[in-house]
Amino acid sequence: MLIRKGAEASLYLETWHGRKVILKKRLEKKYRIPKLDLTVRIQRTKHEPLIIHKAKKAGVPTPIIYMIDIASSTIVMEFVEGNRLKEILDKLSHEERRNLCKRIGVLVGKLHRSGIIHGDLTTSNMILTPEGKIVFIDFGLSEQSFETESRGVDLHLMKRALLSTHFTNAEECFNSIIEGYREVMGGETEEVLNKIEEIEKRGRYVSER
């Protein structure tokens, strides 16, 4: 069953050997010559699970990868049960929300500490499981980098996503995220915060929507 069609890939919810899984299939692009198209799709189909695995090693919960089918550029991964943070964040009590955001901050810090830039940090890409775990999904835009610039952009996107979807609590949430982030990143946090300020001044990443 098709559940989402993005610019690059389609997501299907299926049953696979008795398990509920997500199939992420990278689509063929007719504007690219077949040889290049295949190379790009294969590269990304391999890259994404690698980063997902790396994130797991860094202590960030991510979906289990069951299988990669290079020929059809498809990733078969665990369907994570739970609620997207987007849907529940505004319904929590002040204290619960603060705690949850702090935990998000710790996880983002762990990603950055191990050189992973998520690339699409939004509350739609985080799932709170019934056991209370926060699982990060969709590493389709991720990259490996230790640069302050990349970290700044990553967190800035998070801030922008909060402003657009959780307007009334955005500032409080972001501050709690930074509190958690600081627990992992320590002194480097200031550099990242300064970078975010610089990025905002560039006028490119505006808080619209």
**Residue 120 bears catalytic tag:** yes
Residue 153 identity = V
Nearest to 189 by CA among 176, 200, 179: 179
202 part of the interface to another protein, by CB under 8 A: yes
Least distance from another protein to the Cβ atom of residue 36, Å: 6
Least distance from another protein to the Cβ atom of residue 35, Å: 5
Strands (DSSP E) found in the chain: 2-5, 9-16, 19-26, 65-69, 74-78, 83-84, 116-117, 126-128, 134-136, 143-144
List 143's β-bridge partners, or say none: 117
Using CB under 8 A, which of 7, 17, 18, 71 touches another protein? 7
Query: Closest CB to another protein among 49 and 119?
Result: 119
Contact pattern for another protein over residues 137 through 166, marking x by CB under 8 A: ----x-x-----------------------
- Residue 167's alpha-carbon distances to 76, 84, 161, 174, 209, in angstroms, are 35, 17, 9, 11, 10
Query: Which residues does 201 contact at the CB level (< 8 Å), separation at least 6?
Result: none
209 part of the interface to another protein, by CB under 8 A: yes
**Residue from 37, 69, 90, 120 carrying the catalytic annotation:** 120
201 part of the interface to another protein, by CB under 8 A: no
3 state SS of 23: strand
Using CB under 8 A, which of 36, 96, 194, 198 touches another protein? 36
Residue 48 identity = E
6 part of the interface to another protein, by CB under 8 A: yes
Using CB under 8 A, which of 11, 40, 134, 193 touches another protein? 40
Other C-beta atoms lying within 10 Å of the C-beta of residue 33: 10
Instruction: Kindly give the interhelix angle for 188-201 and 148-165, rounded to the nearest 10 degrees.
Output: 60
Residue 42 token pair: 């294969």
Using CB under 8 A, which of 17, 35, 91, 94 touches another protein? 35
Using CB under 8 A, which of 2, 3, 33, 70 touches another protein? 33
Using CB under 8 A, which of 3, 13, 19, 39 touches another protein? 39
Binding site for another protein (CB under 8 A): 6-8, 29-33, 35-37, 39-40, 43, 119-120, 141, 143, 202-204, 206, 208-209
Residues designated as active site: 120
